[in-house]
Amino acid sequence: MSTDLVAYWSVPFQGILYEIEFEHGTVSGKRSVRVNGKEVIRREWMFKLVGSEKFEIKGVTFEIKIDPATTFAYSYTLEINGLEYEKFTEKYSQLNKTWLVELDDEIYRVVMEKETLDVWANGQKLETQGEFVDDGSELHFVLGKNPAYIKTVSSGKRREGIIHNLIVNDTVIPETLDQNL
C-alpha cells in the first residue's frame, strides 16, 4: 500500500461494490486512481496539485476533486454523475434493495432496482420471471443452482409502504442495511 493513498470510497451500483482508491503525491506530483485494485488513471509530475480527475465505469461518470484545505493539506471529494458521494449512496439505498447471500461457498450480492425491477447478482443482470400472487408479486430467478425469488407485498401501513423479501431455498434472507457492504 502506498503512503500517498489519501482517499478511499466504496460505491455500490449495478449489483457490484466498486472500491475506489486515490493516491496524491504532493511532493512527487503523482496522481493515481484504482478501481477494485486496477489502476485506471496514473499521472506523474503534476505541478498543479489541485484540480480533478475524471473517469467512467459502465457509463457512469466519476470525478475526484482536489481542493486546498490548509497551506499544505488538501481535501478530496468524489462525485458520481454529478452527485456528491454521500448523496449518491443515499439515493442508491432509496432506489435499491440489497441482500448478501452465501450459497455453495460463494457470496452473492443481490440487488433489486425498485424502479425497473431489474435484479443483479455480483454485477450480472439476472433473467427473471414475474408472477402475480394473492398477496403481491414475485420475481423468480436462479442464484448459482438455487431457486430464489423476491416477494413484494404491501405492509398495510402507509409509512412502511411496500416490503421486499428475498427468499432462497424457502429461506427469507435479511436485507443488508449498509449498502456499502
Long-range contacts formed by 176-180: CB under 8 A, 24+ apart: 176/98, 176/99, 176/100, 179/12, 179/89, 179/92, 179/93, 179/96, 179/98, 180/10, 180/12, 180/17, 180/89
pLDDT in tens, 98-154: 999 999 899 999 999 999 999 999 989 999 999 999 999 999 999 999 999 999 999
Residue found under cell 409509512: 159
Written as one letter, the residue type at 131 is: E
CB atoms within 10 A of CB 39: 11
- Of the pLDDT bands very low, low, confident and very high (cuts 50, 70, 90), residue 181 is low
**Upper half-sphere CA count for residue 162 (Cβ side, 13 Å):** 15
Tell me which residue of 96, 102, 90 sits closest to 15, measured CA to CA: 96
Task: Give the pLDDT confidence score for residue 35 in this predicted structure.
Answer: 97
Structural domain boundaries in the chain:
5-81, 90-173
Q: Which residues contact 74 (CB under 8 A, 6 or more apart)?
A: 6, 24, 26, 49, 50, 66, 67, 68
Euclidean distance between CA atoms 121 and 127, whole angstroms: 11
pLDDT at 13 over 70: yes
pTM for the model: 0.80
pLDDT in tens, 56-87: 999 999 999 999 988 778 999 999 999 999 99
Q: Which CATH architecture has domain 5-81?
A: Beta Barrel (2.40)
The CATH number assigned to the domain with range 90-173 reads 2.40.128.180
Report whether 151 contacts 164 (CB < 8 A): yes
